[in-house]
Amino acid sequence: MKQWIAAFLTLSLSGCGTIITLYNAPKAADNLAGWHSYCSQIPRVYSGFAYGYCTMDAPVRYGVHDSAPIAAADMLLSGIADTLVLPYTIYQQNELGVIPVKRRQR
């Protein structure tokens, strides 16, 4: 039981892409726009994995949260979490469409 609780806390506190795209899609889109990601939209199906990919598909940023190993680990965990919520995200994709990422004008 302790292992499940530890796994849940680790997943929820890691800033998992699935969590941010499911519960705060506009914030996820704003993050990508602020990082000047080359992605113009995020599909809602496997959105956490796509968010992780779009995080890496941007100009170089510096900091501990922007390293490739951390992003790859997040993509792995997001892929697992995305699979678990697949029925819900299929419904969201059908009803709401993709999450648009609008670049900010300078």
Report CA dihedral (47, 29, 57, 66) to the nearest 10 degrees: -100
In tens, the pLDDT along 32-79 reads 898 888 999 999 999 999 998 988 888 877 665 556 777 788 888 889
Distance CA 72, CA 76 (A): 6
Mean pLDDT of 76-91: 91
In tens, the pLDDT along 1-16 reads 777 666 665 555 555 7
- pLDDT in the model for residue 60: 78
